[in-house]
Chain A
Amino acid sequence: MSATMLTVKELNFYYSKTQVLRDVNIEIPGNEVTAIIGPSGCGKSSFLKALNRLYEIIPGARVTGEIIYNGGNLLSRDVDVVGLRKEIGMVFQRPNPFPKSIYANVAYGPRLHGVKRKELDRIVEESLRKAGLWDEVKDKLNKSGLDLSGGEQQRLCIARCLAVEPKIILMDEPCSALDPIATAKIEDLIYNLKQDYTVIIVTHNMQQAARVSDKTAVFLTGGKMVEYGETVKIFENPENKIVEDYITGKFG
């Protein structure tokens, strides 16, 4: 259907001596939502950190293998990491707006990347609109981002991420700190985002994976990816017994 965005080949991930991902192979399609599910500690967050090379700030963390993006291996040494992270944005598990105004939060990325001042207003408004937050905050753009509720903060973080115009958005359990109503809003948002972006979302919530994603990858303890395919198929008719057990809540 849509062209492949990222091809992960034989990815291994280590924290010092401990290996947390083993020979992971996935082709992630563009303009779709791919869900990553699996029990706690199986390496889902580590997987996302490999995709935008955020693992590099963790002492001792290291990867082997390839992640092909735009025809090149994004793990290779000579890749410009700053440019890469502009294209592969990330939303974290705990909302982490900066202790700055709402406006400054959204404008943060564009300012870094040298966007002209007179463009900023437009970018901030557009990004907040896309994140479904504009109407709620348009009269208090100068208030601190930390004054918002948890769900609003998370949408602010999404807007902040959209403002740098990424191609791929990584989300690490973006709703785990939120109530059901805030969660529903973010899920709607994710569903709409895939028109313009490729979304990869880690979640512990099976229903959420089933609701928002097109493809699902199941990781299991030990860092192996055991099954990957259409979400519908994974949830209704998985190939592996162990995946079925996991999805129906027999363990994990």
Chain B
Amino acid sequence: MNRVQRRRFAQATAFALLAFATFLILAIMVGIISFVASQGIGAISWEFLTAFPRSGMTEGGIFPAIVGTFYLAMGTTLISLPLGVFAAIYLVEYSYQGRLIRLIRIGINNLAGVPSIVFGLFGLALFVRHLGLGVSLLSGSLTLAFFVLPLVIRASEEALLAVPQGFREGALALGATKWQSVYTVVLPTAVPAILTGGILALGIAAGQTAPIIFTAAAFFTPRLPDSIFSPIMALPFHIYVMASESAHFAVTRHLQFGTALVLLAIVFGINITAIIIRSQMRKRRRW
């Protein structure tokens, strides 16, 4: 092979490898979805979506788990979004960008790498036991909020950093205080991007099992939660319970996949909402 041929060969090989990796990912994703869909679609019915489980979870529906997951996701967002946004404002707008801030950033990034079960144990120790909140919607939301907090902070930071410096200078030059410039110009400009990050975090929270096992989840509740101190059912935990703890795990196969399918649909729905908001926002942005 001469040099030109060698170069062409290298080019073709690299291209083939990259294309292979991309299609492999796509294939795995399609594989998972179609497998879950084909196994679970038979279980889906109006009753499945709207009824309580019956006969030791071998019959009936998953309504309380859907509601529980919805409440958990809402609670997580209500707690993590304000906290994360305030932290990001401090990090981006207020703090002197020195060594301490670098340390805090490293801390936040490391927090994102902590295994979710560790958050679960932390939540059990702090919220359930120490603060006496018990196994409850509130404890679970708090635990999940801490779990997604690094993501929310990072998304909010990126959103704030994307606001042109000219907006800040313009506001300050008109006699705005720092805080006025933040809440009248910088924050409103960053809100769509912050919301996108918040919604993605919501999708991640909805799918978690480990952080809620000890802090919020119940095998079965005869009623829907009536306060933030009630234990709740949730989709990921429901799957886990049916698949591993129940004596009838073989009988409930189709119900497990049906539940997984519902969970997948919810998470995808949430992510697609975030993607739509983001693309709308890009279309409208003109600075």
- In the complex the two chains form, is A85's CB within 8 Å of B174's CB? yes
Once A112-B175, A160-B174, A164-B175 are accepted as A-B contacts, the answer to whether A98 and B167 lie under 8 Å apart by CB is yes
Residues of B contacting A108 in the complex (Cβ-Cβ under 8 angstroms): 171, 174, 184
* CB of A70, distance to nearest CB on chain B (Å): 16
Contact with A along B146-185 (1 / 0, CB 8 A): 0000000000000000001011111111111100100011
Q: Which residue of B lies closest to A157 (CB)?
A: B170
Q: Which residue of B lies closest to A108 (CB)?
A: B174
Q: Which residue of B lies closest to A91 (CB)?
A: B173
Residues of A contacting B169 in the complex (Cβ-Cβ under 8 angstroms): 54, 57, 90, 92, 96
Measured CA separation A109–B170 after assembly (Å): 10
Residues of B contacting A59 in the complex (Cβ-Cβ under 8 angstroms): 96-97
* CB of B191, distance to nearest CB on chain A (Å): 11
Residues of B contacting A97 in the complex (Cβ-Cβ under 8 angstroms): 170
Measured CA separation A82–B172 after assembly (Å): 8
* CB of B168, distance to nearest CB on chain A (Å): 7
* CB of A72, distance to nearest CB on chain B (Å): 18
A89 within 8 A of B: yes
- In the complex the two chains form, is B166's CB within 8 Å of A96's CB? yes
Residues of B contacting A57 in the complex (Cβ-Cβ under 8 angstroms): 168-169, 172
A146 within 8 A of B: yes
Contact with A along B87-119 (1 / 0, CB 8 A): 000000000110000000000000000000000
Residue of B171, B172, B174, B185 with most partner-chain A CB within 10 A: B174
Residues of A contacting B164 in the complex (Cβ-Cβ under 8 angstroms): 96
Once A108-B184, A112-B180 are accepted as A-B contacts, the answer to whether A96 and B170 lie under 8 Å apart by CB is yes
Tell me the number of A-to-B contacts counted with CB atoms below 8 Å: 65
Contact with A along B177-197 (1 / 0, CB 8 A): 100100011001100000000
- In the complex the two chains form, is B287's CB within 8 Å of A146's CB? yes
* CB of B177, distance to nearest CB on chain A (Å): 6
- In the complex the two chains form, is A109's CB within 8 Å of B174's CB? yes
* CB of A125, distance to nearest CB on chain B (Å): 18
- In the complex the two chains form, is A109's CB within 8 Å of B175's CB? yes
Measured CA separation A94–B177 after assembly (Å): 22
Q: Give the size of the chain A interface in residues (CB under 8 angstroms).
A: 26
A211 within 8 A of B: no
* CB of A241, distance to nearest CB on chain B (Å): 37
Measured CA separation A183–B146 after assembly (Å): 54
Q: Which residue of A lies closest to B177 (CB)?
A: A82
Contact with B along A72-114 (1 / 0, CB 8 A): 0000000000110110011010101111000000001100110
B130 within 8 A of A: no
- In the complex the two chains form, is A94's CB within 8 Å of B173's CB? no
Residues of B contacting A82 in the complex (Cβ-Cβ under 8 angstroms): 175-177
- In the complex the two chains form, is A146's CB within 8 Å of B166's CB? no
B286 within 8 A of A: yes
Measured CA separation A115–B173 after assembly (Å): 18
A33 within 8 A of B: no
- In the complex the two chains form, is B170's CB within 8 Å of A92's CB? yes
* CB of A227, distance to nearest CB on chain B (Å): 28
Residues of A contacting B180 in the complex (Cβ-Cβ under 8 angstroms): 112
* CB of A195, distance to nearest CB on chain B (Å): 22
7 shortest interchain CB distances as A-B pairs: A96-B166, A86-B175, A90-B173, A109-B174, A85-B175, A96-B170, A146-B286
Could you tell me which B residues sit within 8 Å of A by CB distance? 96-97, 164, 166-177, 180, 184-185, 188-189, 286-287
Provide 16 A-B residue pairs closer than 8 Å at the C-beta atoms, listed in order of the A residue: A54-B169, A54-B173, A57-B168, A89-B174, A90-B173, A92-B169, A92-B173, A98-B167, A98-B170, A98-B185, A98-B189, A108-B174, A112-B184, A144-B286, A160-B174, A164-B175
Given A54-B173, A85-B172, A108-B184, 17 extra CB contacts under 8 A = A57-B172, A82-B175, A82-B176, A85-B173, A89-B173, A89-B174, A92-B169, A96-B169, A96-B170, A97-B170, A98-B171, A98-B189, A109-B174, A144-B286, A146-B286, A160-B174, A161-B174
